Structure 1
Amino acid sequence: METDAGQIDEAVDQSGEEASPGRAMRVAAALKAKGGDQFAKPGNIIEVKFVKGESLSLTASRLLALMILTAGGDAWEDRPHRMRKADIRRGHKGNERISDMLEELHRTLFAVDDKSWRGKKATLRFSLISRSREETEEDGGEAGWIEWEFTPDARKLIQASETYAVLNRQAVLGFRSSYALKLYELGALRLHRRQATWKGDMQALRAALGIPPEVYADFAQLRRKVLEKAKAEIDQLAHFRVEWREIRQGRTVTELEFRFEPKGAPEVIETVDELNRHSSGRESRRDGSVETVSVARAGQGMISAPKKVLPKAKPEEKTFPRGSLHFGEDELLAIGRAHGGGWDINMIADAYREHMGERLGKVRGAKMVASWKGFCEGWVNRRGRP
């Protein structure tokens, strides 16, 4: 679950090229070329507001994320993009839901602040995709493709975006609440900007998350049905945690302030493990209940026994080094420079070793890299810059 965005940022800065397209698309192109589950979503698209009364369902929100992942650094270009239906279905045999998702994306309106032809403040309303094609004649059900084009207004926002969030494909597809997915995107964007908070009134919150005005009119319901569920999912699946503070006038909640905090190394490892598990049983694992399997014993009936499967580390995957990172540890050194906020890398490494303790020799490969990156971010979050 490691993020290479900091290293990519550094490469973009050193390239000396004009930002056309903006940084978001250049990072998206680099992440797509690298492969893996991470992709960049432009900040300008994350921060568009839903028009009052409009919102995207969870399935349509996932499809939009997959569209941006697939388009990569070409999303701003005036050209069609293509994706296999099999990459969308995730095990569903039928394609009926894909048609519904495409139609929902076509008819949903978004809004951004703009200027009129007279230079006055105005609201621009637009759709994200202009047209799409869906193959209806398939060979065996697996050869079908969809094709779509982003609208000129969407492409303009995508091209101009200098900010972005690095999202994890497995996490995006793992969310069961559209509100949790939207808050995850906002949190990832804020953390990358090194702005760990988001504050807004109730109208701004509804516009940001796509909560219709007539839904959860009572704040106690909104807290229980939206905020608490979103927090539980984000804390389990994201590379950060989320908390919020309720600001009141009298007894009425008028504003909310969200704080996003990078996870420490052990928590990042747990998140990587969770994303690699099947989604079945995820809610019970989140709630802390124990999964059981039935075991038969001679002369006895069926009994319940704890089910615990520990991932086996590949022998070729290396552990965190004991010595200086300046000698033969280019990848870990680059992560420390990108996410360590200017602190001495070996100082952070020593603190990481102390923090991990006996776990240090057991964490290997991608999990080790992810935990190191998370620790560096947490270090800066707790101590600021030197």
Structure 2
Amino acid sequence: MEHAENLSADAAQEAQADSAPGRAMRVAAALQAKGGEEFAKPGSIVEIKFVKGQSLSLTASRLLALMILTAGGDAWQDRPHRMRKADIRRGHKGNERISDMLEELHRTLFAIDDRSWRGKKATLRFSLISSSREEAEDTDGADAGWIEWEFTPDARKLIQESESYAVLNRQAVLGFRSSYALKLYEIGSLRLHRRQSTWKGDMAALRAALGISPEVYKDFAQLRRKVLEKAKAEIDQLAHFRVEWKEIRQGRTVTEIEFRFEPKDAPAQIATVDEIERHSTGRKARREGAVETLADTVEVGSVVKAAISALVTPEKNSEIIFPEGTIRFNAETLAAIARSNGGGWDIDLIADAYRQQMGDRLAKLKGAKLLSSWTGFCESFVARRGRP
């Protein structure tokens, strides 16, 4: 009898473990509870491949990101999720484009490596959303329309089991003007968070990851100019990191490409707090240097702000300044950031290096700008030196 009860308890524990969400959903729930612009996208969804010949447009990619943001820590649950149309259209008066985006999400197929019922290697193809409802008329005012959707069982399973995640910034996601740049931004955010600062693949893998149709940019020089260079320009401006790539050749043919993602240094992180509040008008001119330098037009890093928002501190962010001595005492927020992002280096050693780099500018820094700058410096410190 006792043995049967133990078996029953073990079975109940296994069932509970099977139904529990992974780390990605736990982080998503925490970020959602805190509010703000940051949200977690499961690594399994970031790394999902487009079926050959299919991809998402920029507007549909943004909608998918907003769906994941809205669903938050409940994205893996078998239930509908809801969002206002006004949160999607970004100032457009009409809602006709929302219908197009929903239909595009319905018909786009994604693929992952899987196993067949015989245990053989197989490819699983599926859609991300199974059903959606869109209110036909906004009878209660221009901002009263809503959409409702449900993720497919295959998508929910991927979301639930994902242990890795990319922390993205909503304003950065909405600021991209290239779907390729947005996708590469998500990949870079995921890789940096994993402490794996590179992504490498052959041309087929690159096209599948970014959703580049095999019918376009067949010549690599075109692909470099139309996709990679444009994506790099946007990412260097809007993300909390910069991207570089190396072309690996066999003879004169590029066969593989390796992306390297590097956190921005402290001065660049400071400028991001200002840029995120600016209107997108003029952003391209600022990026190209027609108005300001590139260092003045970068976006607040999603991982940077996520690290800050994840901290529970007794002091108000607006009152935080950088102390002259040790940060181990009476600087809980700064010390916590260094421990979380400093790769195990002595936190006062990092602080001394930060003071040396910032110089007289440090006396003028406080609050959110200081926290963003300090977090970015800790990440770049580890990226340059490795772990102790």
- CA offset at residue 270 of structure 1? 1.9
| Aligned counterparts of 1:71 and 1:375: Cα–Cα separation in 2 | 32
SS at 2:286's partner residue? helix
1:343 pairs with one of 345, 362, 381: 345
Q: Which amino acid aligns with 1:185?
A: E
Q: Which moved more, 1:178-187 or 1:330-339?
A: 330-339
CA RMSD of aligned residues (A): 1.7
TM-score when scaled to structure 2? 0.88
Kept in 1, the 8 Å contact 2:318–2:366? The answer is no
SS at 1:77's partner residue? coil
The equivalent residue for 2:116 is 116
Q: Which amino acid aligns with 2:229?
A: E
User: Closer, same or farther in 2 for the Cα pair 1:315/1:46, shift >3 Å?
Assistant: closer
Q: Which moved more, 1:235-244 or 1:325-334?
A: 325-334
Q: Which amino acid aligns with 2:191?
A: R
- CA offset at residue 319 of structure 1? 2.6
| Aligned counterparts of 1:167 and 1:384: Cα–Cα separation in 2 | 24
User: Closer, same or farther in 2 for the Cα pair 1:254/1:316, shift >3 Å?
Assistant: closer
Equivalent residue runs for 1:324-339 within 5 Å: 324-339=326-341
Equivalent residue runs for 1:75-94 within 5 Å: 75-94=75-94
The equivalent residue for 2:363 is 361
Kept in 2, the 8 Å contact 1:236–1:274? The answer is no
For structure 2, the 5+ residue unaligned runs are: 1-15, 293-315
The equivalent residue for 2:97 is 97
- CA offset at residue 203 of structure 1? 0.4
Q: Deviations over 1:217-241 (max 9, x none)?
A: 1111100000000000000000000
SS at 1:253's partner residue? strand
| Aligned counterparts of 2:36 and 2:348: Cα–Cα separation in 1 | 28
The equivalent residue for 1:140 is 141
Work out the number of aligned pairs and report it: 349
Percent identity at matched positions?
Answer: 80
| Aligned counterparts of 2:332 and 2:318: Cα–Cα separation in 1 | 18
| Aligned counterparts of 1:363 and 1:92: Cα–Cα separation in 2 | 37
Kept in 1, the 8 Å contact 2:171–2:276? The answer is yes
Q: Which amino acid aligns with 1:358?
A: D
Kept in 1, the 8 Å contact 2:317–2:367? The answer is no
| Aligned counterparts of 1:275 and 1:244: Cα–Cα separation in 2 | 26
Is 1:61 aligned to 2:54, yes or no?
no
The equivalent residue for 2:382 is 380
Equivalent residue runs for 1:207-222 within 5 Å: 207-222=208-223
The equivalent residue for 2:30 is 30
SS at 1:88's partner residue? helix
User: Closer, same or farther in 2 for the Cα pair 1:169/1:264, shift >3 Å?
Assistant: same
Equivalent residue runs for 1:185-196 within 5 Å: 185-196=186-197
SS at 1:189's partner residue? helix
| Aligned counterparts of 2:17 and 2:358: Cα–Cα separation in 1 | 42
| Aligned counterparts of 1:316 and 1:33: Cα–Cα separation in 2 | 21
Q: Which amino acid aligns with 2:252?
A: R
Is 1:233 aligned to 2:229, yes or no?
no
Q: More helix per residue: 1 or 2? A: 2
Q: Deviations over 1:270-318 (max 9, x none)?
A: 2232222111111110111127xxxxxxxxxxxxxxxxxxxxxx99543
User: Closer, same or farther in 2 for the Cα pair 1:315/1:30, shift >3 Å?
Assistant: closer
- CA offset at residue 18 of structure 1? 6.1
Q: Which amino acid aligns with 1:149?
A: E
User: Closer, same or farther in 2 for the Cα pair 1:316/1:336, shift >3 Å?
Assistant: closer
User: Closer, same or farther in 2 for the Cα pair 1:246/1:38, shift >3 Å?
Assistant: same
For structure 1, the 5+ residue unaligned runs are: 1-16, 292-313
Q: Which amino acid aligns with 2:172?
A: A
| Aligned counterparts of 1:196 and 1:290: Cα–Cα separation in 2 | 31
| Aligned counterparts of 1:175 and 1:280: Cα–Cα separation in 2 | 12
The equivalent residue for 1:370 is 372
| Aligned counterparts of 2:147 and 2:330: Cα–Cα separation in 1 | 45
SS at 1:131's partner residue? strand
Kept in 1, the 8 Å contact 2:191–2:197? The answer is yes
Q: Which amino acid aligns with 2:71?
A: A
Q: Deviations over 1:71-128 (max 9, x none)?
A: 0000000000011111111100000011110100000000000000000000000000
